[in-house]
Chains A and B, each alone.
Chain A
Amino acid sequence: MKALMSLGALIGVAGLLLLGGMIFDIVPSTTIRLVEGYMPMQLLFEVGCYVIGFAGLSYILNAMGMAIPRFWQGIGFWVFFLMYLKYRVYPPIPFSVRAMYGTVSLVAVFMWVSANEEDWQKFKQPIMNVLDAQTGMNKLLRYAYLFLLPILIGGFSYNAMMPKSEEPIELRTVHPAPPASTKVHGKTYTLQTSQNPYRVNTEGKYDQEYTNANIVEQGMGRLMKPNANPWDEKNQGYLKYVREGGEIFFQNCHFCHGDNLNGRGLHAFAFNPIPANFTDPGTIAQLQETFIFWRVAKGGIGLPNEGFPWASVMPPWEQHLTVDEIWKVILFEYWHTGYYPRTWD
């Protein structure tokens, strides 16, 4: 038990040091990376670790005779959680959302400290002590509060009333519902029935199994399968078209969507919303190839009304690329990210 708790305490101290370092900019905030797509799970896991750590810490301190009063434990945990939200989570979440989380966690802390009558007494004892002011220290505190509280609250309300220019929060539907069909270069494509004409095996037959077997491997780096190099000149079918798609991608798309298809291209920093990250499991991995076809062909301008706020700079690629080129680029995007397109069945 003791060993387990010491381990917990160690985690707690290490975690606190890390967070402290990040707050004061000693430790770069990228030390432990937030992995795209797994961020919520990662954050929950981290907070879980902290809770275990704090339990351990509290146990150890108790055993050493330096127990922290329940009152400070409650406040401490709440402050920790606010700091965590503010400094750990990146990209930063707006204050209004943090305030919501903060309120919820405050309620949780109250539920914890008032779980039974004894705990609740312990929790409110320090407050009562200050109100009663029996000792010199408490008297001092009481006067300090008497002055500080009105000044602080007055200050906060002044701050809140001062006209400010914070960025308005913008919400948008990332994957708006696609139309039933789309007309590109004079031909109508029904999204439910269209197929990528280049998803073919070496004999030129549509073959999902074959093409899925030749995409890059999942895992760090997402490297190509050792004997499926699209740059091999003897290639026929799928891999040949992947290469052609890649050539188009690196002449047109990587400026925004990035060399690694992660939305961090050369010009990406200038745009808002930032370009789509295809390596994120929430983008092309969730979609059918024909959906991508529609989005690529029609661009930001082709978005339906729920795709507001219409700030997308994605061009209608039908102006620049032929239908064949669009299909090849899509083929390349799935190859390079190692995802299978979703199918309709």
Chain B
Amino acid sequence: MMDSITHKAGLLTAAAFGIVLGASFGSTVVSAQGMPEGFKKGDLAPPPSAEMIEAGKRVYFTKCVWCHGVDGAGDGPGADRLWPRPRNFNQGTFKIRHTASGELPLFDAKKPIAGQNDLFETVTHGLPGSAMPPWEGILTEEQRLQVLSFVTTELVKDRKFTDKESETQSILQLGELNPKQATEESIKRGAELVVEKKCVECHGMEGRGDGNAFNLKDDWGFSIQPADWHKCWNFRGSRQDPYSVRNIFRTFSTGVNGTPMPSFADNTTVDERWDIANFVNSLCERDPLGNPLPIDPLTDKPKINFVIPSDPVEGEIPTDIAAEAWAKAPKRYVAMGGQITHKPRNFVNRIDDIWVRSLYNDQHIVYLLEWDDRTKSVAEGKLPWAPTEVNIDVKEQDPKTGEEGSIAAHQNNYTVYNDAIAIQTAVKWKELPAPIKPRYLFGTNEQFPVDIVKWEADGSLRAFLGTGWDQDFQERDNYEESMKILMAEWKNGRWYVMIQRPVGNKKDQDYDEDTFFEVGQYIPTVFFAWDGHNGDAGRKMAVSAFYYTFMNPPVPQETYIYPVVIAVGVVLLEGWVLTRRANRKKGKTL
């Protein structure tokens, strides 16, 4: 537990630290008032009225208490199965602010204005990448202000939002600062600065959040991971506007209270901060033309296309990821959720997306799978169960709350298993009438099985037949030689895996076991992924919905012939209409 004295002391030391830092490096950027550049002194907001607080209590106990707890200690019934955990309000430690590091966020019950009311914006837009949803459209503006009035007065216990003695407000003047153009030069300078300012030590060399990933703790001792800069839609402070450079600038300027992320306001100029923000923003996934990905307003994640197109290749499929054919192949975002339907369930899911590309030739189809995983996990020694075993005994997270013995305290002390990925396709997909797919997890039954190709980080690639969620896999023999791992590399927080499997041949192979990949058909495909450091094994894994693999047929000859024929036909038709009209007019005038 932290007390308010540490906080106040923290403020002083932070200020002192800034000066010491400046003295030693000769680069302090502190304005005349003793404020870091871009900040201005602000006044504390007036306290909310008693009616607002009382009304807010009603909102809190309908909507918020379930995760944030009766006393606002972030220990509601839902808390322990969540990562990131719900906020503990008691210490007044809030992450997303316009105020200097260690200060309380901006909140004024009478001013629901963007940029001037941090807590209101957090409730309005939610915290993407966490379980906190946007409450806009669910609660009225008034209700949102009411509940915040209740939280800031009754549940923040160690500090007081209105106490002039103990609280100060140094407010980042984000509205007055204009973002710098994201020129190549600015981005390049930002790339140098993130190394110089040691951002990469935690966020990783490529910014995938893989540096020092499993040793960081928040103020309460819970494990916490650095942000993955390539998934800007998961930035907590993105305010549902993920590609906005302003929000990155704000986080970098004010730090994230309660976490190891400090404020860099004291040792960077505003100009440098824009460079860094531009660089971080430039890393976020974009489409091939460099435009931001379209974001689905219902989920605040990239829009999903459920068809994974596979392009034809003449001859061998290139194994080099930089090859032209791969560069041209369409890349699909595959959303992954935790498998929480069958035990052991995966409540704390670490792999939330995979990027998939595919190519095929007359014999094989290759999937190139890329996904961010902060740690490379390879199980040491033999796994305690057979690879075909499904009903394995992996301990599930207790819903127990509180610190000692809770899952959150143990979050990173799992047995480490293999990182892994699998592709599940339906075996007899052609026998199912059009939109019908086999049962979701590991197949329906003996009659409608699925074909599962699984790669594990220990280098193994196996093929299984799944006949139901609770049935052990059947290992397929004579299948290994026809499959191949073309690439499997973990680099700077990202796996790159290329899996090759036969397209299948109805004549030579057993139709009951194998999926046949036919050109121009929609083949139901599901992806599974395991993060070994998260204790993922067996059914504790990340799952996607049903996607379709679609092998693009080569363009047929007719595509070029018929349109020309049609165009000529139209010309003839036009001639006929015109002559008819002309004749009729002649007839009339005659």
Residues of A bordering B, CB below 8 Å: 28-30, 33, 90-91, 128, 131-132, 145-146, 149-151, 153-155, 157-158, 161-163, 165-172, 216, 220-224, 226, 229-231, 246-252, 254-256, 258-260, 262, 264-272, 274, 299-301, 308-315, 319-320, 336
Beyond A165-B307, A254-B131, 6 additional pairs, beta carbon < 8 A = A220-B140, A221-B140, A247-B66, A259-B133, A310-B440, A311-B440
Assess the B299–A269 pair: CB atoms within 8 A: yes
The dominant DSSP class at the B interface is loop
Contact B545 A161 (CB under 8 A): no
The residue that A163 contacts in the complex, of B345, B441, B555, with Cβ under 8 A, is B555
Tell whether, in the assembled complex, residue B570 and residue A223 are in contact, meaning their CB atoms are under 8 Å apart.
no
Among the interface residues B338, B563, B564, B571, which one has the most CB atoms of the partner chain A within 10 A?
B563
B351-366 interface bits toward A, Cβ cutoff 8 Å, 1 = contact, 0 = none: 0100000000000000
Q: Give the residue name and chain of the A residue nearest to B585 (CB).
A: A132
Tell me, yes or no, whether B286 is within 8 Å of chain A by CB. Answer: no
A163-B434 contact in complex given A216-B62, A223-B58, C-beta closer than 8 Å: no
B545 and A311 within 8 A (CB): yes
- For the complex formed, measure the closest distance between the CB of B364 and the CB atoms of chain A, giving whole angstroms: 19
The 10 closest A-B pairs by CB, nearest first: A267-B337, A315-B341, A250-B78, A270-B337, A154-B567, A269-B299, A247-B77, A270-B335, A150-B567, A272-B545
Q: How far is the CA of A265 from the CA of B345 in the complex (A)?
A: 16
Question: Is B110 on the interface with A (CB-CB < 8 A)?
Answer: no
CA–CA, A267 and B339, complex, Å: 9
**A-chain residues with CB within 8 Å of residue B434 when the two chains form the complex:** 168
What are the residues of chain B within 8 A of A262 when measuring CB–CB?
138
* Contact assessment for B349 and A267 in the assembled complex, using a CB-CB cutoff below 8 Å: yes
Pair A221/B66 contact, Cβ less than 8 Å: no
Known: A260-B63, A267-B340. A301 touches B439 (CB 8 A): yes
Contact residue among A158, A251, A260 (Cβ-Cβ distance under 8 Å from B78)? A251
Given contacts A90-B297, A165-B550, contact A269 B342 (CB under 8 A): no
From residue 259 to 313 of chain B, which have CB atoms closer than 8 A to chain A? 296-301, 304-307, 309
Is there a chain A Cβ closer than 8 Å to B70's Cβ? yes
Residues of A within 8 A of B395 (CB): none
* Cβ contacts B53-81/A at 8 Å (1 or 0 each): 00000110111011100100000111001
Across the interface, which residues of A come within 8 angstroms of B131, CB to CB?
254-255, 259, 265-266
Chain B proximity of A253: nearest CB distance (Å): 9
Residue of A265, A274, A315 with highest tally of chain B CB at under 10 A: A315
A310 touches B438 (CB 8 A): yes
What residue of chain B has the Cβ atom nearest to residue A232's Cβ?
B61
B530 nearest CB across to chain A (Å): 15
The distance in angstroms between the C-alpha atoms of A154 and B562, with both chains bound, is 8
Chain A residue at minimum C-beta to C-beta distance from B297 = A30
- Residue contact B143 to A312, C-beta cutoff 8 Å: no
The residues of B that contact A269 with a CB separation of less than 8 Å are: 296, 299-301, 304, 335, 337
Q: Does B161 belong to the interface (CB within 8 Å)?
A: no
Contact B67–A250 (Cβ < 8 Å): yes
B350 sits at the interface (CB 8 A): no
Please indicate the chain B residues that have their CB under 8 angstroms from the CB of A259 in the complex: 63, 66-67, 131-133
**Residues 433-489 of B contacting A (Cβ, < 8 Å):** 434-441, 444, 469
What is the CA–CA distance of A286 and B297 in the complex, to the nearest angstrom? 27
Question: Do B564 and A223 have beta carbons less than 8 Å apart?
Answer: no
Contacts of A146 in B (CB 8 A): 571, 574
User: Chain A contacts of B335 at CB under 8 A?
Assistant: 269-270
* Docked CA distance A300–B469 (Å): 12
